[in-house]
Structure 1
């Protein structure tokens, strides 16, 4: 009996031992299969159940904490939806710019003042408001002029004398001089011939626009008497505009006439214009310590208006044979600066880089890349977010600093 009890006890000990060894293994597998959650914006927040981020309040999302690979693999549809594009890095020149504040103004060479050629009273003003576009040859105003009537009468008398004494050269000269006076008052040959045929004086004369443009100012009104040469209105042409910018005297030394600069117009940042510096004012503006530079740009379709703010990018430094990337291809965070490298189709991985000179469009890469590398240039922040969602960690976490 005692022997039987001893054998049963010996058989029980291994069973208990193996059961005790088996329990930790089950527990480890259960822990590995347990789902974890993190915040897309704050990957340091990790917990084993759904909830909200205590920092920003966003809903936590599940992630696979056991996937420790540095690369990220996306499907074709994900790449298309994220608009991920790449470029092969190559060396080239890179320039840095200094930004100057400027504005668009009317080009005085495209302005025209419409003035009265005869003294008299404005009978009809065909354009009564500013901002109206007029074409060359379009009637602008009709004026009543007693002086014009007297000149017409004088010409009719000279024509009658010439016809009565056709051989008298003096009367011929008088007739020619009287006709020339009418021509100087913008009387056309057709109007002068009609005067001779009708033998009726017409003190009214209609003046057309001499150029095309937009009415920017009205200086006379109907019923108003204007002197010879008196301004009636001003026309502005906006198909070409001046660009003016203010600079400090110390900056002016880097600018010279004939230099090409970029002009960024507010609202049209994706359409930079090229301008040639035409004038550098050697005198400081009144009441300031600023000088002024000026150039002109074309204005197709009059889409820009005088008064718009612009930025002028003045090149101040340049390098040749450097590796550079578009600014949006580089991501900066608390861990450093990195880019995304395209490997096999659909596979991407982050890489730490060092940057150098930078302008509004591109940034120099001084370390971390070599010519021929394929780099993601659009969709980088979506890759950054996708990495955090899938792995629950910053792409640069654990990478050595450069």
Structure 2
């Protein structure tokens, strides 16, 4: 009985040892690699570049005042359409006190000169009537009298202009600020009660309003130097406006800058394109947008996933399936690529299977 138990233990140990050895052997053997394949297919490939920028009016006009003072009244609001000549704002004048004092002094001086000229003119007029002086002598005093009257009128107008913004005979008022173009009011930087500075040779002055024609919009963006040589004026752009998802706009490229600028370490060139507006959607100024510029387009061409292409030096290959898990290398000639799929000009036909890489 003891011998039987001993034999049984030995057999059990042998079985465990052999089983372990078989398991370890099988585990050490690599499983055969199974490759998948992708079929060549026909599709449309569009090669394009993307320009990042914004949509803006072609022309924005800043309305400034010719006089300094306080904004008494604003007659428009942002978003309102105005015509050329419409009044934007009224300014309560705040003239320079030194200049005002000079204007008042000039008026008093002109009045005194006129009084003296009047007295002398009346005396010479009597002498001329009595034929005691010649006509030429009389005309000198008449001219001086007329000049002094004009000097008074000019001084009065100058003082009125400084105080009220208008002269006696003027049909235009300098403290009433008109729109210089027809368009939409984009911005009113200052509210009623704010002090503004006049435009002069010493400074641009305070902007009262910004106007723009919102029916003439352009896309303004930047293109990388590696792509700028592939685009030209007249090309069509497809605009993706971030605020209007799913509603693309088209535009026509009309300007490519001749000079590049450095942007985050790369050279980029500014472009502008005229936007074709939609009757249903309103494009606001400074909407951010991406523009797809179509560089090339091929329809109904044989293509494969670009990741399945093998590039060795200047040659291009694919591994074509010749049988179950059997592949052979074949040279191909490629065309355009959209970054995902690449056109196969020669070497493959639709339905040919190539190794998935």
**TM-score if structure 1 supplies the norm length?**
0.43
* Bigger RCO (CA 8 Å, 6+ sep): 2
**TM-score if structure 2 supplies the norm length?**
0.48
